[in-house]
Structure 1
Amino acid sequence: MAENRQVLGSLFMLASVFFFSAQLSFLKHASLSLHPFEVLFLRNAVAAAFMGVAFVVAGPTLLVGWRVFAIRAGFGFLAGLCLFYANANSALAAVAIIFHARIFPLTGLARLTLGERVSPCRWLGVAAGFLGILLIIMPERWNAWSLGLLAALGAALLSAASQVAVKALTEANAPLTVVAYSQLAFAIMSMAPAVSVWKAPEPWELAAITMGAAGGGLAMLAAAKAFSLAPASAVSPVDNIGIFVSALIGWVIFGETLSWNVALGGLLVSVSTIFVTTRT
């Protein structure tokens, strides 16, 4: 029975990987003609509408811990700005690799703020993971390409801080409550940056953004189901497949190719992520 639950959990995590990669692909496609800040607002608005309906159907509840939520909302909003800029201006695979590496700063933040124990072996894995990120970023120096990668790194760091706040919030709130309030806050905060670059979206652009928002929501639901079926150490390594899925989508749809440093850095990040998530 336990083995069946682990297999099923891995399948749900695999589904989450594909949905998340599809989200980045749809939103990158919309960003070819719309500013990434407008794409961010529209995506957040659609997601807020979906989550709002689910929240009302499930039975709305008041959020507990507004100060922690303010931290979650602020870091999450800034992470979104960085991620959408990176997704519009850098190769899909490189963005996926760097954002995927948020487990490394998350490990350190969990130790500092939540008091979680981190073994020396896991610290070595974190160091190796950051080395992989540096390998991806440094060879490009300071041209326009590297600005997108630096934005991806910023998104990973900010997302890690946001996830620590989420973990604290879920101790007193249902996950749906945290997600619904977060999406509403993100939609409101992303409105101002979008106004300054606003352009009336075409129907196909709205369709792509809606599909991206749906992909992101399904990715979160599939991941939550995976973690409910099997231990995190068993299903988290499956998340590494997302790097290769993103690379394939970037190559087939957007004509992107991997440079040697991105490929090698991605391999180092993948191995380090598996090491960190499976060690105690």
Structure 2
Amino acid sequence: MLASAFLFSAHLLILKHASLSLHPFQIAFLRNTMASVVLGGMLLWVGPSMIRNGRTFALRCVLGTGAGLALYYANANAPLAAVTLIFHARIFLLLALASLVLKEQISPPRWLAIIMGFTGIIIVIMPDRTGGWSMGLLAATAAAALSSGSQIAVKALTRDNAPLTIAAFSQLAITALSAPMAIPVWLAPPLPAMALIGTAAAFSAMAALAAAKAFSLTQASVVSPMDNTGIVLSAALGFVFFGEVPGPGIVIGAILVLGGAFYVAQKT
């Protein structure tokens, strides 16, 4: 799981560097296209099957598209540590949505942990004395919310569809949906930027595989807290490569989010 956390943080760092030459919406489209080629090829190899429950699938694709666009916009316009922290906090949104949408039972102590996590997010995104609201941090919050909704939809889809079918068809649809946002800001991508995006896409895939492997080897209560090391790694990478120093709001918010996430993991 430590490898997964590092790879995910490194993937955001690489895309943040790519955003110096390309708009984040174009980066999202290019990254989605590369993922579509890989997943589409895998689906053809094992044999495609039709998606069942089209409405839920459509909802998952719309939410997934919005989450990706918002995340990469936030990554280009906000500190790396803050973006990673807010995106990690989607665990609290997932728990709340699981209770409201899937009717899963959430204990009162877990609701307190959820409130703690939400409070941490609010502290991070609140404007400081030097300026107004940060569009980058608001975008990161939107990405976390949309990603949570998307994951709830994926969970519903797994009742009638194979994981690879969901992943491949979703990625193809998300690529198509992200294209209209990329067209107005399109620039001829330089080869170095394409190499960065390709590397980031590979890192993201390896992070997902490493996380899946970690969960298969030990209990979630042991693995999940390790995933939060990505927040510390992102803070270190942001400082080394971009000179970003986390402010008091990010530090306090991180304490609340990490505390709530640790409690949830221990009760899993």
Task: Return the TM-score normalized by structure 2.
Answer: 0.95
Distance 2:169 2:216 in 1: 22
Partner of 1:184: 172
Tell whether the 8 Å contact from 1:96 to 1:242 is kept in structure 2 after alignment: yes
Tell whether the 8 Å contact from 2:126 to 2:133 is kept in structure 1 after alignment: no
Aligned length in residues? 268
Deviation at residue 52 of structure 1 after TM alignment: 1.4
| Stretches of structure 1 lacking an aligned partner (at least 5 in a row) | 1-12
Distance 2:130 2:248 in 1: 18
Deviation at residue 222 of structure 1 after TM alignment: 1.8
Deviation at residue 90 of structure 1 after TM alignment: 0.4
Alignment of 1:67-216 (within 5 A): 67-140=55-128, 143=131, 146-216=134-204
Distance 2:72 2:40 in 1: 23
Partner of 1:226: 214
SS in 1 for 2:246: coil
Distance 2:252 2:160 in 1: 41
Deviation at residue 268 of structure 1 after TM alignment: 1.4
Q: Give the letter for the 1:38 counterpart.
A: Q
| Stretches of structure 2 lacking an aligned partner (at least 5 in a row) | none
Tell whether the 8 Å contact from 1:90 to 1:145 is kept in structure 2 after alignment: no
Q: Give the letter for the 2:138 counterpart.
A: L
1:65 aligned to 36, 53, 59, which one? Answer: 53
Deviation at residue 43 of structure 1 after TM alignment: 0.6
Deviation at residue 71 of structure 1 after TM alignment: 0.9
SS in 2 for 1:61: coil
In the superposition, relative to structure 1, how do residues 116 and 196 fare at CA in structure 2: closer, same or farther (>3 Å)? same
1:49 aligned to 29, 32, 37, which one? Answer: 37
Identity between Structure 1 and Structure 2 (%): 53
Deviations 1:162-189 (A, max 9, x none): 1100111122222222111111111111
Matched, 1:18 2:1: no
Matched, 1:277 2:265: yes
Distance 1:257 1:264 in 2: 14
Tell whether the 8 Å contact from 1:121 to 1:279 is kept in structure 2 after alignment: no
In the superposition, relative to structure 1, how do residues 205 and 274 fare at CA in structure 2: closer, same or farther (>3 Å)? same
Moved over 6 A (4+): none
Tell whether the 8 Å contact from 1:139 to 1:261 is kept in structure 2 after alignment: no
Q: Give the letter for the 1:133 counterpart.
A: I
Distance 2:215 2:248 in 1: 34
Tell whether the 8 Å contact from 2:75 to 2:83 is kept in structure 1 after alignment: yes
In the superposition, relative to structure 1, how do residues 51 and 60 fare at CA in structure 2: closer, same or farther (>3 Å)? same
Partner of 1:259: 247
| Cα root mean square deviation, aligned | 1.6
Tell whether the 8 Å contact from 1:41 to 1:190 is kept in structure 2 after alignment: yes
Matched, 1:36 2:24: yes
In the superposition, relative to structure 1, how do residues 80 and 141 fare at CA in structure 2: closer, same or farther (>3 Å)? farther
